[in-house]
């Protein structure tokens, strides 16, 4: 097992970041979190970490965060709503691309070499085949996916020219909550399927929309590869160990290899919670491919990683413990 490291986690108060922060603290690493709390929640940050409320776009905040001399930086701070990125590209270009380039340039100043990047399956765009492996063509279908690809391409250059070593982890559909129930703050204004289903079950929204049931899939609704955030957290820890042990770059998909339809997701949530989901079928959402699933062989081979919590029952059992808890914010 790796020595204990000093690590910086940008966006570590966010939905995914807070799960990785918790595991890093659990493993005894010294964790600093930089988060502007625009989407993240302070109560989700493990108390063993030190939280700097600040912005990756603010040079002074960046300097403060990097002055702790982390050995590894985990970078989650980004906007992630694919639909919004198509109406407000400037917001995504500024925060995702410029924000990350500012962080990389600051890393050069502070001689920090290791970078674990929260990338996305959105870099692939419309699947030409599925399950999608890392050799699949990269044609993002939305501006959000393009920002993730643009950052990966810059990481290639910064690695080649300046010796940065990075792991780009391409998430499929991140979902679920901490299997031990320690992270309880709900996502703010979610657009993704599973939190929307849970908000509907919890009565936080009257009903939800199912964007089309006329796809060429068994039940007509879209199929996606749902990966539990606790499985993602383990993959990030293993990616850090891989970088420190091998000193070479890594680009892997993080998914289960299995797909589930929107209706399957809704039916599972109803069964697990014993509550009905109010939904109406509406038109398709532009840009939604009928089916997406990851080939995760490379992550299994290089990281020795195996999803353990990503079955739909566990996903909704862990989400219900947060969304049906009247005290959780
Ligand atoms: C899943 C399915 C919707 C909401 C996006 C990003 C991707 C990644 C994951 C970060 C689709 C349907 C959804 C709703 C619905 N993000 N749906 N009603 O679009 O697969 O991927 O999130 O890395 O980059 O693009 O996820 O959860 O939005 O949708 O019917 O209210 O659920 O049509 O078929 P998606 P999603």
Mutate to test the pocket of ligand 1, among 11, 14, 39, 82 (most ligand atoms within 8 A of CB): 82
Q: Which of 193, 203, 202, 197 is nearest to 172 (CA)?
A: 193
> Going by CA atoms, what residue is nearest to atom 33 of ligand 1?
211
State the pLDDT at residue 329.
Answer: 81
Mean pLDDT score of the chain: 96
Residues of the chain with CATH 3.40.50.720: 6-176+227-254
**Per residue in 111-143, pLDDT tens?**
999 999 999 999 999 999 999 999 999 999 999
> Going by CA atoms, what residue is nearest to atom 17 of ligand 1?
193
- CATH no. for 193-224+257-323: 3.90.25.10
Contact in structure between 107 and 236 (CB atoms under 8 Å): no
CA of 172 to the centre of ligand 1 (A): 10
CA of 49 to the centre of ligand 1 (A): 31
Enzyme catalytic residues: 144
Residues with CB under 6 A from ligand 1: 80, 82, 120, 122, 171, 173, 191-193, 196, 208-211, 222, 224, 262, 285, 288
Residues of the chain with CATH 3.90.25.10: 193-224+257-323
State the pLDDT at residue 2.
Answer: 64
State the pLDDT at residue 1.
Answer: 53
State the pLDDT at residue 83.
Answer: 85
Considering the domain 6-176+227-254, what is its CATH architecture?
A: 3-Layer(aba) Sandwich (3.40)
């Amino acid at each position: 097992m790796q020595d204990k490291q000093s690590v910086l986690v940008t966006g570590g108060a966010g939905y995914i970041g807070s799960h990785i922060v918790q595991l890093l603290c659990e493993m005894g690493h010294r964790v600093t979190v930089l988060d502007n709390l625009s989407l993240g929640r302070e109560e989700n940050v493990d108390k063993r970490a030190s939280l700097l409320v600040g912005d990756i776009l603010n040079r002074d905040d960046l300097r403060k965060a990097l002055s702790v001399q982390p050995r590894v930086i985990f970078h989650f701070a980004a906007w992630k709503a694919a639909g919004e990125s198509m109406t407000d590209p400037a917001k995504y270009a500024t925060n995702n691309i410029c924000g990350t380039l500012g962080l990389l340039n600051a890393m050069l100043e502070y001689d920090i070499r290791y970078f674990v990047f929260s990338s996305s399956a959105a870099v692939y765009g419309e699947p030409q085949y599925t399950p999608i492996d890392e050799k699949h063509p990269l044609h993002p279908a939305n501006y959000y996916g393009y920002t993730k690809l643009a950052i990966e391409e810059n990481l290639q250059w910064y690695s080649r020219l300046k010796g940065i070593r990075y792991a780009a982890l391409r998430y499929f559909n991140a979902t679920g909550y901490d299997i031990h129930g320690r992270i309880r703050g709900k996502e703010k204004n979610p657009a993704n399927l599973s939190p929307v289903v849970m908000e509907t079950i919890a009565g936080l929204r009257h009903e939800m929309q199912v964007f089309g049931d006329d796809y060429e899939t068994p039940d007509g609704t879209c199929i996606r590869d749902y990966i539990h955030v606790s499985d993602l957290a383990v993959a990030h820890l293993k990616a850090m160990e891989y970088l420190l042990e091998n000193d070479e770059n890594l680009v892997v998909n993080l998914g289960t290899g299995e797909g589930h339809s929107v209706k399957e997701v809704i039916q599972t949530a109803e069964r697990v919670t014993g509550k009905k989901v109010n939904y109406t079928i509406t038109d398709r959402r532009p840009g939604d491919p009928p089916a997406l699933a990851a080939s995760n062989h490379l992550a299994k081979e290089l990281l020795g990683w195996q999803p353990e919590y990503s079955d739909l029952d566990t996903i909704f059992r862990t989400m219900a413990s947060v969304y049906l808890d009247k005290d959780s914010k």
